[in-house]
Amino acid sequence: MALAIMCSGGDAPGMNPAIKKFVDYSYKKGEEAYLVYDGLEGLIDNKIKKATHQDVAGIVHIGGTIIRSSRSKRFFEHEYRLKAFNNLKSHGIKGMVVLGGDGSFRAMEKFSSEFDINFVGIPSTIDNDIYGTDYCLGVDTALNVIRDALDKIRDTASSFNRAFIVEVMGRDCGYLAVVSAMISGAEICIIPEVEFNTQEVEKKLLKEIEEGRNYILAIISEGSKNTSQVHAWIQDKLGLETRVSILGHIQRGGNPTVYDRLMAFDFTIKAVDYLLSHNDSNKVVVFKNGEFGFMEIEEVVSNKYQLPQHYLDAINFLD
């Protein structure tokens, strides 16, 4: 069976280690390996190339993805999905490993329901918002990028009587924000999942400022969509000069950490083994309670990820 690997949606650190392991392991199992460049768009445009070991040599330490990624409106039209399938068929490809998130898996679920193609998804998003798995590829690297930025911001915040608001990614999931707040010693954390009690926090911080506190670090998830309001509140009510740092896409970049490289290897081996041993393998590899498993794609895309309760509770124990 010829197998292919593709990245779809936002890039995540750890994709390159997964791509290398896919190629090396596929050939070790006696199968041909193909790379799909430019994601779903590349699938439509037949940017599919048979891989060699040389193609993936020396990429484990590189962030992003050497085969690039994309989002595709065309893929939602049947004529282009048919074109994509014919492209795969022309190369003899019967199975695919897809590195991506909910949107990617929804697209592949539709694709595989119409055509004779099997796929296994590897959850790959720094947002860590995919249902059924405790961990998505790229999260550890993103958290370390954020941690480094927060440590540096706290250095300068403590040198002045200032508050710093740091907005992190995560879409509608507060995972990055709450974990970053816990490990950085932030005084404030605002996420979409929990209503922020302004009055209670204001009372507590005003008392601390009276007792000598001279700076505040606040972490806000982008999905909360109230960074500007929090900025005004801190300046007007707490009386501290306030700066805003939006970390943006640096959170997606950087060398994959040791943990993300290990997880990439394990995710990929599980995915390839499943493709080779099943004829109806429209699944997602998940990592739950310290163990790898598989979940039906329909279950993954029809449910919403929920932050574990202990993370939600942790917001009340900051500072």
The predicted-structure confidence for 139-149, as pLDDT tens digits, reads as follows 999 999 999 99
Rounded to whole angstroms, the maximal C-alpha distance in the chain is 72
Each residue's pLDDT tens digit, 83-108: 999 999 999 999 999 999 989 999 99
Q: Please, what CATH class does the domain formed by 2-138+256-303 belong to?
A: alpha beta
Q: What is the mean pLDDT of residues 154-168?
A: 92
- pLDDT the model gives residue 70: 93
Task: Calculate what percentage of the chain has a pLDDT beyond 70.
Answer: 100
- pLDDT tens-digit readout, 23-40: 999 999 999 999 999 999
Answer yes or no: is pLDDT of 275 > 80: yes
Q: What is the pLDDT of residues 221-246, one digit of tens each?
A: 999 999 999 999 999 999 999 999 99
Q: What is the pLDDT of residue 319?
A: 59
Residues 37-76 pLDDT 10s: 999 999 999 999 999 999 999 999 999 999 999 999 999 9
Q: Measured between alpha carbons, how far is 122 from 18 in angstroms, rounded to an integer?
A: 9
291-296 and 283-288 beta bridge pairing: antiparallel
38 is known as an active-site residue: no
Residue 121 to residues 109, 130, 158, 297: CA-CA distances in angstroms? 10, 11, 44, 8
Domains 2-138+256-303 and 141-252 share a fold: yes
CATH class of segment(s) 141-252? alpha beta
pLDDT at 314: 85
User: What pTM was computed for the model?
Assistant: 0.95
Residues 38, 102, 127, 129: which is the catalytic one? 127
The 162-168 sheet, strands edge to edge:
188-190, 216-221, 162-168, 241-246
The CA-based angle 135-219-132, given to 5 degrees, is 20
The predicted structure's pLDDT at residue 317: 76
CA distance 220 to 147: 14
Domain borders along the chain are: 2-138+256-303, 141-252
Give the model's pLDDT for residue 281: 74
**pLDDT above 90: residue 167:** yes
